[in-house]
Every structure is written in C-alpha cells, then in structure tokens.
Chains A and B, each alone.
Chain A
Amino acid sequence: MKISRVMSYLKLHSKSFLRSKSGVFFVILLPVLFMVIFGSIFGSSGESKATVAVQNLSGTNESWNLVKVINKTGVFTVNLVSPNENLTSYMAANTIDQGVLIPANFSTNYNLGVVFIKFIYNPSDQVSLAMSQVLQNALLKYYTEGTGKTVAVYPAALSTQLTKPVDYYIPGLMGFTMLNGINSMIYQVPNYREKKIFRQLSFAGLTKPEWLASSTIFYFIITLVSDLIIYLVGRGLYGANISISPENLLMTVLVIFFGLITFMSVGLLAGLLTHNEETASVVGNVIFFPMLFLSGVFFPISLMPSYLQTVSAFLPLTYFVKALNGLMIYHNLSSVLPSIIIMGIASVTLFIVSSRLASRVDNM
C-alpha cells in the first residue's frame, strides 16, 4: 500500500466523479432533495400559528376561562386534549411542540390567588421556547392587571423529546446515503472489467487494495459531506429536533463508516458477479429499493405492517438506521452500543472478504 498512489487515484476518481452528473445527483443532491421535500411536507417552519395542546384536568369555570385567554392571544391554535389521554404522548403522536396542563386543583389555587399551570415545551425547538414566553406574558397581562392574581407558569421541558416525522428523515436519509456504497462499486467494477480500465490503471502500480482504500476514502468523505448537509438542512430549515452530542459524534461517524463499507462490499460482490453494467444495474436496484423503503429510511419501521417488519429485520440498513436513530433522536448510546459493535465487526469482515475476492479476480 503506497499512499501516493492511493492519493493520485483519489484525485483522478474525484475528478471523474464530480464531472459525472449522475454521480453528483445521486450521491449529494438526491438525499438533500428528499430532505427538502419531506421537510416541506412535515417540517414545522411553515406554520403561522403554533398549535398548543391544552389539557384541562380541572374542568371548572375558571379553568375554561384560562383556555379562552390562551385562545385570545391569537398566537396559538388550541388543541384540546381529553383528560383521559397522556398529554406528552398525545403531543408526541401529533407532533405538537407546546402544551398546557391545567391541573385538577387549578380552582383551589386560583381561589388562593395563584394561577398555576404547567407549560410543556420542547427545549430543542426555538419556536417552542418563544411560545412559552408569549404565553407567560399573555397570562401575566390578563391575570395581574385584570384580577390581581399571581401567575405561576411551571415550565416543564419534555423529558422524552418529541419526534416529528422530519426528525426521522435525518437518520433515515443518512442511511440512504450509505447505500451509495452499493452504487460506488456495482457499476464501476463491471465497467472497469469490461473495458479493462483497472488493468490500465494498474500500469501506474495501483493495486486492488489501494484502489479500494482510495474508493473508501472518497465515498466516506462524500457521504459525510452529504450527511452534514442533510443534518444542517433538516435542523436549520425544518426545525428537526435532532442533535448529535459531542460524545456521540464519533459513534455516529463510525456507524456511517461501517454502513458505507458494508454497502461497498455488497456492491463489490454484486459487481464481481455481474459481467456488464446493464446486469449490474438490475442487480443493484433489486438490492437497493427494498432497503430504501423497508429499512426505516422514509417511515418508522414501527408503522409498517408486521410482515414487512419481518422483511426489514433481514435488511442490514435497518440496523444502521436504528443505530443512528438511537444516537441522534434518543441520545441513548448505551442501548445501541452493542449493536454498533456487532455491525462494526460484521462490516469489517464483509469488507475484508469482498476485497480479498476482488484481488483474486484476474481480468479486472
């Protein structure tokens, strides 16, 4: 393995890649395009009025009066939640970022001169924070000026963060970008073989391990760039509630790497087995599309019918997307760590096996 050869092939391949419109489209633009489409459909930034979920556990006249006050601010669309429901679950299910809980003992407090309510907000959402301020001010104005009561808004950050559909798309689309590993190899290998391009490149001393190392570096960088764009667009434009904590960052990058080399290996094996680009493209699609739709890229797997859930359990991408969800949405490293370790071992093994096989193939 000689670094200078890895680098000069990297340079050559980058040029070729950036010049090929389809490559840039599929690897960088398509995931971002998906992000924009789904973000626009499910994102929260387009709403002019914020929805507030209001649950009245008291039911007294005074408490209903408070609901009216909230309504009158003109800032909120009140969404009444039945007292039998769990407010935070309801908010999660309906992707509402702010909630008001009027406690059962509201009137008792009220008669003692205190307007006490619980305001539930989503700390990672800027809009939600601002809304809590708006609500407090409105209540203060109404109650202190009009009735001389003390207002006590008890802020409660959502302990389990709310997930909006747009949140799912970020790890999902990051999973989608891993699938570029398949495309990186499945067309190139038969093409390089058919046209004897690898042989021609090898006249510069380039070996197959060097070629693979170079390709891995290239697609890893491209994938990280495209994931970063997805992350920034998702958060910045569509207010996705996801974040990667510094302590999870390395793990997230590792999961992306393992995913990439898994799918590069899959693409490499498929590319070695097919003898021309047309067959490769059919085989590629057969591998690609089920994973695209059944691995939690676009819809949470829990929403799928059970027989499809069974299928998804057999697709490797499922586990990478799950791991990213765990890291980015639930911030629960310990629960995903064992599976990340298994994925790491499996992906590295697969990569070694497939590259050994590629090295054995003579006429490439």
Chain B
Amino acid sequence: MPGIVEVRNLRKSYAKLEAVKGISFEVGYGEVFSLLGPNGAGKTTTVEILEGLRKRSSGDVTVMGRDPEKSMNELRTTVGILPQDFNFIYNITPREALDYYKESLGLEADPGEVLARVELTDSADTVFEKLSGGQKQKMGVAIALLNDPDLVFLDEPTAGLDPVSRRALWKVIEDMKARGKSIILTTHYLDEAEKLADHVAIVNRGVIIASGTPKEIVSMHHKADRIMLSGSDKLQSILSSMQIHHKREGRYLVIESDSIDALFSIVERLKGSSGDIEDLILKRETLEDVFVRMVGEEAAYEN
C-alpha cells in the first residue's frame, strides 16, 4: 500500500538558491514522521510543498493520493496544518477563529473540546494580539486539529511552549497517533522526535542525510558510547597504566567505544580505583549527539 504522503526526488529553487535538492521519503498511514534539521535546511519548504502552499521545481509529490499543488482544496477537511510562525487577525479570539473554520468547512467539531485539548480554554475569548506566544501557538494547533484530520502537518508545534505545555502537546500528538492519524512533525527538539516519531529524516542543506526510526539512526550512525570520569589527578595515570585509550574533555576524562559491553568491562576494571573517582557517567549516544555530529561534520566538510 502506498503511503499517505509520498515524495520522490523533490527539488525546489528560490531564484538562485536551491533549498531542496532531491528529497525522497514516504509517510505510512498512522505514522508520526519527523523532519529534523538545522535552520534553513529546507524543512518548511518541503512541508509547505506538501501542503499545497508552494510550487515545487521538480519531483513527484502525493498527499492522500493527490497532487497538493492542484487539489489541496479537496483535502481541507481531512488535512490539518499548523504553519511555522502561525499568525491570525489581531483582534479575533481563538473561539471565533475556530468558529470560522468550523462554519467554512462545514464541520461537526466542537471548538470548546479542541480548545480544552490544547489547554487554551482560559484564553479562548482573548483576542489574538493579547495572547502569549505559547497561547498563540496553541491556537494554531487547535485550528490544525479542529477538523479531526487524518493527516496533520505540524511545523515546529512546540516552539515557544513551556515544558509543561510541551508535554501536554506531546500527549495530544500521542493521542492522535493512537487513533490512527498520520502526523508530519517538524522540530528542532531531538528529544521530541525521539519520543514521538516512528520515523525520522534528518535534513541538511536540502538533502536527507539520515533516515529511519530514531533507534536505527542512532545505531547506524553510531560512533561511540562513552564513559566520562572525573576525580583525583592520579586518574589519568591509572588509565594509562591499564592501557585504556582516553581523551580529556574539560574536567572529564572520556573513554569512547562503539561497544557498550567493552565499556562495562572497563567500569569493572576500574572498581579497584574507586577511591580516585568522583563522577562516573556512562553515556549512550542520543539522536541529538548523532544529529549534532552529522550536521557538524557536513559543515566541516563543506568548509
């Protein structure tokens, strides 16, 4: 079965700048798909092409089997969109905005219920310009979810949210996923992608540099888990005497290995020197570490 969204060799140029340089991916039904990437990577460009808001330069794109450039209006009741930098008419309240979408799209939805889901009930009757940044963002999410979409695009939905609201929104996303909805999530927060996404594509400079489940990406591009040690001055000579390869990073001595078991045995061997050890941190590489390293390496390579 083809995916709910399919992208083949997508390219997009703005005048001289080629922002997207041949991206391909597929989002399955009921899947949370996350686009990760540094600023200017081409995430919004890609997503907005899928939303029918921008014209692609070349490539094939389908959303629910249709070309969004041509037939987005037929998908309005089944697709939800939260654009990056959500904005609305300055003196309209969230409730009125939701009423507008409800009436225009002929929905059965209950705006009050959606407002409650994004925790915006208390400010439902405050005009847009008087909402806080996070409340504005929540209003955007509420609009995207009002039609109970089968597919929802969330371009940095948690930008500007406090940690509690962030987690509340994660809950909303998880609930949607549990109900079989598909979600395309753009984010800078790797913990968010790691927690929510079934599939992650890391985009950099208009190309996908890694793709898979968060676990797959970490293990595929896995370089090193590490032990970080701090303690007495003798520590360094102890390690040297044991012929354990290490390097210094600030106050820590760092031992890296691509095998976690090897690290466990090193910890075992260090038992006798526990008096000289203050901190002993065993750290697995996270998606964030992989991300930072990969994007960093690319930048270094370019230069």
Residue B252 is within 8 A (CB to CB) of chain A in the complex: no
Task: Please measure, in the bound complex, the distance between the C-alpha atom of A29 and the C-alpha atom of B128, giving whole angstroms.
Answer: 26
Select B104's contact among A4, A19, A20, beta carbons within 8 Å.
A4
Question: Which of B89, B106, B127 touches A12 (beta carbons < 8 Å)?
Answer: B89
**Pick the contact of B76 from A4, A197, A200, A204 — CB < 8 Å?**
A204
Return chain A residues, CB-CB under 8 Å to B86.
200
Residues on the A chain within 8 Å of B127, using CB:
19
Contact call A200/B83, Cβ cutoff below 8 A? yes
A290 partner residues in chain B, CB cutoff 8 A: none
- What's the interface size class on A, roughly? 20 to 34
**Count of CB-CB pairs between chains A and B under 8 Å:** 60
Most buried by A among B85, B97, B100: B100
Residues of A within 8 A of B76 (CB): 203-205
Which residues A198-245 have CB closer than 8 A to chain B?
199-201, 203-207
| A360 interface residue (CB < 8 Å to B) | no
Q: Looking at the complex, which one of B87, B92, B100 makes contact with A204 (CB distance below 8 Å)?
A: B100
Q: B87: which of A4, A12, A196 is its contact (CB, 8 Å)?
A: A196
- Interface contact A204-B104, CB-CB below 8 Å: yes
User: Of residues 88 to 124 in B, which have CB atoms within 8 Å of A's CB atoms?
Assistant: 88-92, 96-97, 99-101, 103-106
A204-B83 in contact (CB<8A): no
Say if the beta carbon of B240 comes within 8 Å of chain A.
no
Residue numbers in A under 8 Å from B90 (CB-CB): 16
- A residues less than 8 Å from B210 (CB atoms): none
Contacts A5-B104, A15-B96, A205-B105 hold; do A200 and B87 have CB atoms under 8 A apart?
yes
Least Cβ–Cβ distance between B75 and chain A, in angstroms: 10
Q: A8-B103, A196-B87, A207-B73 are in contact. List 4 more A-B contacts (CB 8 A).
A: A8-B100, A9-B100, A12-B89, A200-B88
Query: Which of A4, A196, A197, A362 contacts B106 (CB under 8 A)?
Result: A4
| B87 CB contacts on chain A under 8 angstroms | 195-197, 200
A19 touches B106 (CB 8 A): no
B143 at the A interface (CB under 8 A): yes
Residues of A within 8 A of B73 (CB): 205, 207
CB of B178 closer than 8 Å to a CB of A:
no
Given A200-B83, A203-B76: A15 touches B103 (CB 8 Å cut-off): no
How many residues on B have C-beta within 8 angstroms of the other chain's C-beta atoms? 26
Give chain B nearest CB distance to A127 CB in angstroms. 46
A11 contacts the other chain (CB 8 A): yes
B81 contacts the other chain (CB 8 A): yes
Most A-side CB within 10 Å, residue of B85, B103, B143: B103
- Are A199 and B104 in touch, CB under 8 angstroms? no
Residues of B within 8 A of A8 (CB): 99-100, 103-104
B53 at the interface (CB under 8 A from A): yes
Majority secondary structure, A binding face: helix
Name which residue of chain A comes closest to B73, CB basis.
A205
Cβ contacts under 8 Å, A205 to chain B: 73, 76, 104-105
Residues of B within 8 A of A203 (CB): 76, 81, 101, 143
Instruction: Looking at the assembled complex, report how far the CB atom of B272 sits from the nearest CB atom of chain A, in whole angstroms.
Output: 64
A-B contact pairs, 19 of them (CB 8 A): A4-B103, A4-B104, A7-B103, A8-B99, A8-B103, A9-B104, A11-B103, A12-B89, A12-B100, A16-B90, A16-B92, A19-B91, A196-B85, A200-B83, A200-B143, A201-B100, A204-B104, A205-B76, A206-B104
Q: Which residues of A contact B99 (CB under 8 A)?
A: 8
Bitwise interface map of A from 3 to 45 toward B, beta carbon under 8 Å scored 1, else 0 = 0110111011001100110000000000000000000000000
Contacts A199-B83, A204-B76, A205-B76 given; indicate if A16 touches B104 (C-beta within 8 A): no
Determine which residue in B83, B85, B89, B99 has the highest number of CB atoms from chain A within 10 A of its CB, and name it: B89
The answer to whether A204 and B89 have CB atoms under 8 Å apart is no
**Cα distance A7–B102 in the bound complex, in angstroms:** 12
Across-interface contacts of A7 in B (CB, < 8 A): 103
Q: Which residues of B contact A5 (CB under 8 A)?
A: 104
Chain B nearest CB: distance from A210 CB in Å? 9
Question: In the complex, what distance in Å separates the CA atom of A194 from the CA atom of B101?
Answer: 21
User: CB distance A20 to B91 under 8 Å?
Assistant: yes
Contacts of B101 in A (CB 8 A): 203-204
Scan residues 35-80 of chain B and give those whose CB is less than 8 A from a CB of chain A. 53-55, 73, 76
Measured in the bound complex, the distance between the Cα atoms of B89 and A206 in whole Å is 15
Could you tell me the distance between the alpha carbons of A20 and B101 in the complex, rounded to whole angstroms? Answer: 22
Instruction: Give the shortest distance, in Å, between B303 (CB) and chain A (any CB).
Output: 33
Q: For the complex formed, measure the closest distance between the CB of B110 and the CB atoms of chain A, giving whole angstroms.
A: 17
Q: A203-B101, A205-B76, A205-B104 are in contact. Are A15 and B92 (CB under 8 A)?
A: yes
A12 touching B81, Cβ below 8 Å:
no
**Smallest distance from the beta carbon of A360 to chain B beta carbons, Å?**
13
A207 to B143, CA, bound (A): 18
Closest chain B residue to A20, Cβ basis: B91
Check A196–B83 contact: CB distance below 8 A: yes
Chain B residues near A204 (CB-CB < 8 A)? 76, 100-101, 104-105
Q: A4-B106, A204-B105, A205-B73 are in contact. Are A197 and B100 (CB under 8 A)?
A: no
- With both chains docked as a complex, state the minimum distance between the C-beta of B263 and any C-beta of chain A, in angstroms: 50
